[in-house]
Structure 1
Amino acid sequence: MAAQWVLLGLWISCIDSPAGASLLNVCMDDKHHKANLGPVGELHGQCTPWKANACFTGNTSTEAHRDQSYLYRFKWNHCGVMLHKCQHHFIQDNFLYECSPNLGPWILKTDSSWQRERILHVPLCKEDCEEWWENCKDYVTCKENWHKGWNWATGTNHCPWGTVCRPFKLVFPRAAVLCEKIWSDSYKYTTAPRDRGRCIQMWFDPAQGNPNVAMGKYYTWGGRAAADMARKPVVGASSSLPATLLILLPPALLALM
């Protein structure tokens, strides 16, 4: 059994380097992201939590606060004026995507004509989804998926022909539907609260540090099970490996068990 723990430790040390590290502290290869992240002298408004380590510039952060900016020619007010209490969630969503260097485990290549990489199934904290839905439920929209399918004939997004504007609470009957559907499954609704350290926060108090740094590491290294097992002593170990970790083990290591 001791040999198993030694091999497990060696395996974890292997994933805890270049391949795994490449998912940490990275920026997406996308339209407005910098090639190399780093501190930014001035970041505007809701992007300030990432000032010490951001993926885009101060000018971009200013534009992202506008009702319609040059960034993507996208307007929130496609079905009337969006109230500030709702809009600020979309601005936070935008900045998590544009600013954060902690989304590496969920970045995928894409063959889209307007983006080279995207995020998929980022586990959002329960409060972020619930508050987003609660503050937007009375706004109206004509689409469930805002990621694609708009009428761009005038150079900016308009509702497709034949669609009607309906309240958010009808288009997105639950917070989970809003978070998961609005950007083509970029986010995944979780029941994890912010203080449990098992989900990504859209926004945070920079004075308290960035909680998403730890989350990027947690999901990169295979979750808590791998971390817990790596800390177990080799001498006298007698318990079996948990099923959650067995899934992560390579066939060569499983053959020795």
Structure 2
Amino acid sequence: MGGAPSAHSPLWHQEEQQEGPALKVMAQWWQILLGLWAVLPTLVGDKLINVCMNSKRHKQEPGPEDELYQECKPWEDNACCTRSTSWEAHLEEPLLFNFSMMHCGLLTPACRKHFIQAICFHECSPNLGPWIQPVVPNGQEEQWVSGVPLCREDCEDWWRACHTSSTCKSNWLHGWDWSEEKKHCPAHAPCLPFLYHFPTPDDLCEKIWNNAFKASPERRNSGRCLQKWFEPTQSNPNVEVALHFAISALAPQLSYTLPAFSLCLLFHP
């Protein structure tokens, strides 16, 4: 009578011999797939979180820097800035941007400190990769950042420290008078309190450097926003945050490639 071959029949052993190698190959491919799911986001994300901007002020690669100056110290273990750059960031007229923060008189000490921290963050942090954008000033390809999500406390503290200081512009990157080889307030732009130009903390964070920063609704330790400064004795909290955003940016690519690969394996003969 017909029916399935018994475990002792020659046909059973023949089928078992044919399926054995195929099952082993299938198992190996599934191991490779699982490895890709686990490792690929990290490998690609690492290229976005541990990089320096392409500019004349930044190092080519991040690395340790001894004796970074004051507010730049948190990045000594892994920095995109040099000691010289960290020192220049603390000058009353930073050479980095050919710009005087005293264009409307002295900033309050607390306000000035926040600006120096923001400069150190921009120049030293190796965790801005997901937000780096190419720019082409004067025909030379450089990079800038756009939409870096600063934690809510960072924007609020910065705004609170500066609300009694004065400025003539809400955008400190563009629209200055260059007639004297340095940035000066344009004509008919009087010096007014920060509150006039920046009614809210979000306004300050987002307008001051032409949307380089974005005011995040998230708070510190949420894993969804970056701190523009942290205690030098503390490990860098922005590493994990940048990795999260790097993987999120990668997700659309992975959502097509890896599932397609999975289906190929699923229906592999």
Indicate whether the TM-score tops 0.5: yes
Which 5+ residue runs of structure 2 have no aligned equivalent? Answer: 1-31, 264-269
Report the 3-state secondary structure (helix = DSSP H, G, I; strand = E; otherwise coil) of the residue aligned with 1:22: helix
State the 1:30 CA deviation: 1.0
Which residues in structure 2 correspond to 1:27-46 (within 5 Å)?
27-46=52-71
Q: Contact 1:68 / 1:74 at 8 angstroms: preserved in 2?
A: yes
Letter in 1 for 2:116: I
Question: Paired residue for 1:95, among 120, 142, 167?
Answer: 120
User: Which string of whole-angstrom CA distances, capped at 9 and with x for unpartnered residues, describes residues 24-48 of structure 1?
Assistant: 2111111211112211121111000
- Residue 129 of structure 1 corresponds to 155
Quote the sequence identity (%). Answer: 43
Which 5+ residue runs of structure 1 have no aligned equivalent? Answer: 1-5, 227-244
- Residue 130 of structure 2 corresponds to 105
Name the larger-Rg structure. Answer: 2
Tell me the number of residue pairs that the alignment of Structure 1 and Structure 2 aligns: 233
Are residue 67 (structure 1) and residue 92 (structure 2) matched?
Answer: yes
Q: Contact 1:193 / 1:199 at 8 angstroms: preserved in 2?
A: yes
Question: Paired residue for 2:201, among 172, 175, 186?
Answer: 175
Output the TM-score relative to the length of structure 2: 0.78
Q: Which has the higher helix share?
A: 2
Report the 3-state secondary structure (helix = DSSP H, G, I; strand = E; otherwise coil) of the residue aligned with 2:149: strand
Q: Contact 1:103 / 1:216 at 8 angstroms: preserved in 2?
A: yes
- Residue 178 of structure 2 corresponds to 152
- Alpha-carbon distance between aligned partners in 1 of 2:215 and 2:94, rounded to the nearest angstrom: 28
Letter in 2 for 1:106: W
Question: Paired residue for 1:208, among 224, 231, 234?
Answer: 234
Report the 3-state secondary structure (helix = DSSP H, G, I; strand = E; otherwise coil) of the residue aligned with 1:23: helix
State the Cα RMSD in Å: 2.6
Q: Contact 1:31 / 1:115 at 8 angstroms: preserved in 2?
A: no
Output the TM-score relative to the length of structure 1: 0.82
- Residue 256 of structure 2 corresponds to 250
- Residue 53 of structure 1 corresponds to 78
Are residue 222 (structure 1) and residue 248 (structure 2) matched?
Answer: yes
